[in-house]
Chain A
Amino acid sequence: MTTFIQLIFSGLALGCGYALIALGFTIIYKASEVINFAQGEFLLVGTFIVAVAMFSWRVGFILALLIGIAATAVIGVVFERIVLQRMIGRPPFTIIMVTIGLDVLLLTVVTILVGGTPPAAPAPFDSLNAITVGEVKFGLNAIASMIVTALVCAALYAFLRFTRYGLAMRATAIDQEAALAMGINIRTVYALAWGIAGAIATIGGVFLSASSNNALFDVGLGQSALAAFPAIILGGLDSILGAVVGGITIGLVYMLTQGYESSGFLGTNFHLIAPYLVMIVVLLIRPYGLFGKRKVERI
Chain B
Amino acid sequence: MSTPTPVASPAPASMPAHSGLFRSSRNRGLLLGGLIVLGVIFLFGGDGWVSVLNFTMVMAIAALGLNVLSGYAGQISLGIAFFMGVGAYTAGWLGGGKPLFPGDPSGLGLSFLIWLPASGIAAALIGALIGPTALRLKGFYLAIVTLALIFIGQYLFINLQSITGGTQGRYNFPTPGFGDFTFASPVPILGLEFTTNQWFFLLLLPLLALAALFVGNVARTRTGRAWQAVRDNEVAASIMGVNLFEAKMGAFILSSFLAGIAGALYASLTGIATPTTWNLLLSIQLIAAILIGGVASVWGSILGAAFVFAVPVALNTFSLLPQSASSTGVSGGDLSAIFYGLLIIVFLLFEPAGLVGLIRRLRTASQRFDARRKGGETAAAMASSEHETPLEVERMDLARQTGVSQLPDQ
Q: Which residues of A contact B (CB under 8 A)?
A: 35, 83, 86-87, 89-94, 96-98, 100-105, 107-109, 111-112, 115-116, 223, 226, 229-230, 232-233, 237, 267-270, 272-273, 276-277, 279-280, 283-284, 287-289, 295, 297-299
In the complex, how many angstroms separate the beta carbon of B315 from the nearest chain A beta carbon?
A: 14
In the complex, how many angstroms separate the beta carbon of B255 from the nearest chain A beta carbon?
A: 16
Known contacts A87-B348, A112-B328, A233-B141; A92 and B341 CB within 8 A of each other: no
B140 at interface, CB cutoff 8 A: yes
In the complex, how many angstroms separate the beta carbon of A177 from the nearest chain B beta carbon?
A: 12
Across the interface, do A230 and B348 meet the contact criterion of CB distance under 8 Å? no
In the complex, how many angstroms separate the beta carbon of A266 from the nearest chain B beta carbon?
A: 9
Chain A residue, CB-CB nearest to B283: A100
Q: CB < 8 Å: which of A86, A102, A237 contacts B140?
A: A237
Cβ contacts under 8 Å, A90 to chain B: 348, 352, 397
Most chain B beta-carbon neighbours within 10 Å: one of A83, A90, A103:
A90
Cβ contacts under 8 Å, A284 to chain B: 133
Interface size range of chain B in the complex: 35 or more
Known contacts A35-B140, A94-B397; A108 and B334 CB within 8 A of each other: yes
Across the interface, do B342 and A105 meet the contact criterion of CB distance under 8 Å? yes
Across the interface, do B338 and A92 meet the contact criterion of CB distance under 8 Å? no
B402 at interface, CB cutoff 8 A: yes
Across the interface, do B345 and A83 meet the contact criterion of CB distance under 8 Å? yes
Across the interface, do B235 and A299 meet the contact criterion of CB distance under 8 Å? yes
Across the interface, do A104 and B340 meet the contact criterion of CB distance under 8 Å? yes
Most chain B beta-carbon neighbours within 10 Å: one of A92, A93, A297:
A93
B155 at interface, CB cutoff 8 A: yes
Across the interface, do B151 and A272 meet the contact criterion of CB distance under 8 Å? yes
In the assembled complex, the Cα of A232 lies from the Cα of B148 at a distance in Å of 13
Most chain B beta-carbon neighbours within 10 Å: one of A104, A276, A289:
A104
Across the interface, do B155 and A272 meet the contact criterion of CB distance under 8 Å? yes
Cβ contacts under 8 Å, A35 to chain B: 139-140
Across the interface, do B341 and A94 meet the contact criterion of CB distance under 8 Å? no
In the assembled complex, the Cα of A237 lies from the Cα of B144 at a distance in Å of 12
Across the interface, do B147 and A92 meet the contact criterion of CB distance under 8 Å? no
Known contacts A112-B334, A233-B141; A98 and B345 CB within 8 A of each other: yes
Across the interface, do B341 and A104 meet the contact criterion of CB distance under 8 Å? yes
Across the interface, do A83 and B349 meet the contact criterion of CB distance under 8 Å? yes
B152 at interface, CB cutoff 8 A: yes
Q: CB-defined interface of B157-197 with A at 8 Å, one 1/0 digit per residue? A: 01100000000000000000000000000000000000000
**5 chain-A/chain-B pairs, Cβ below 8 angstroms:** A101-B344, A101-B345, A112-B338, A115-B329, A287-B141
Cβ contacts under 8 Å, B155 to chain A: 267-270, 272-273
Q: Which residues of B contact A (CB under 8 A)?
A: 70, 74, 76, 133, 136-141, 143-145, 147-148, 151-152, 155, 158-159, 233-236, 239, 280, 284, 287-288, 291, 328-330, 334, 337-338, 340-345, 348-349, 352, 397-403, 406
Across the interface, do A283 and B141 meet the contact criterion of CB distance under 8 Å? yes
In the complex, how many angstroms separate the beta carbon of B77 from the nearest chain A beta carbon?
A: 11
Across the interface, do A101 and B348 meet the contact criterion of CB distance under 8 Å? yes
Across the interface, do A108 and B344 meet the contact criterion of CB distance under 8 Å? no
Given A276-B148, A283-B145, 14 new contacts (CB under 8 A): A35-B140, A91-B401, A93-B139, A93-B399, A94-B352, A98-B349, A101-B345, A105-B345, A112-B338, A230-B144, A267-B155, A269-B158, A283-B137, A298-B402
In the assembled complex, the Cα of A298 lies from the Cα of B337 at a distance in Å of 38
Chain A residue, CB-CB nearest to B350: A86
Across the interface, do A229 and B152 meet the contact criterion of CB distance under 8 Å? no
In the assembled complex, the Cα of A223 lies from the Cα of B329 at a distance in Å of 22
Cβ contacts under 8 Å, B133 to chain A: 280, 284
Q: CB < 8 Å: which of B343, B344, B400 contacts A100?
A: B344
Across the interface, do A287 and B137 meet the contact criterion of CB distance under 8 Å? yes
Chain A residue, CB-CB nearest to B330: A112
Across the interface, do A96 and B143 meet the contact criterion of CB distance under 8 Å? yes
Across the interface, do A287 and B136 meet the contact criterion of CB distance under 8 Å? yes
Across the interface, do B334 and A98 meet the contact criterion of CB distance under 8 Å? no
Known contacts A108-B341, A268-B158; A280 and B145 CB within 8 A of each other: yes
Known contacts A115-B329, A287-B137; A105 and B349 CB within 8 A of each other: no
Most chain A beta-carbon neighbours within 10 Å: one of B137, B147, B148:
B148
Please name the 10 residue pairs, one residue from A and one from B, whose CB atoms are nearest each other, closest first: A101-B344, A104-B341, A105-B341, A276-B148, A267-B159, A91-B399, A108-B337, A101-B345, A93-B398, A273-B155
Cβ contacts under 8 Å, A103 to chain B: 341
Across the interface, do B334 and A298 meet the contact criterion of CB distance under 8 Å? no
In the assembled complex, the Cα of A144 lies from the Cα of B310 at a distance in Å of 48
Chain A residue, CB-CB nearest to B346: A101
Known contacts A276-B151, A283-B137, A299-B239; A89 and B329 CB within 8 A of each other: no
Across the interface, do B148 and A298 meet the contact criterion of CB distance under 8 Å? no
Cβ contacts under 8 Å, A229 to chain B: 144, 147
In the complex, how many angstroms separate the beta carbon of A245 from the nearest chain B beta carbon?
A: 17
In the assembled complex, the Cα of A141 lies from the Cα of B236 at a distance in Å of 54
